[in-house]
Amino acid sequence: MLHHRWRVAGGDELPFTHDAIEQMYVHSEGVPRTQVILAGNALLAAYLRRTDQIGPDDIQAIVRDRGLPDVLESSPAVESLPPKQRVLLQGRT
């Protein structure tokens, strides 16, 4: 969905890293409207910081700033992932 919306808006290379997209999906619990809100906020933050790359830390900051619940600990979407991917999403090394 994000790729399509980005292309329709005239963008070439998507500014979101793969991990950032995964973070958006997890935090939105797959709800497209929430994904769009997170993406829009992340794009605005990236513009203000004058950067062209949006990573998972940026998405985490947006989630905290917007007061969204941290679904990483209890989400069925996260629980269904292999342990290695869960660790990556939760930002633990």
The CATH number given to whatever domain includes residue 28 is 1.10.8
The two three-digit tokens of residue 38, written as one number: 């997170």
pLDDT in tens, the chain (93 residues): 788 888 888 888 899 999 999 989 888 888 888 888 999 999 999 999 999 999 999 998 888 887 776 555 555 555 666 676 665 555 543
Give CA–CA dist 6/24, Å, rounded.
15
> In angstroms, what CA-CA distances link 48 with 16, 19, 44, 45?
16, 21, 6, 5
Please tell me the distance from the alpha carbon of residue 60 to that of residue 30, in angstroms, as a whole number.
Answer: 16
Q: How many residues does the chain have?
A: 93
Per DSSP, 76 falls in state: H
Domain holding 34, by residue range, is 2-89
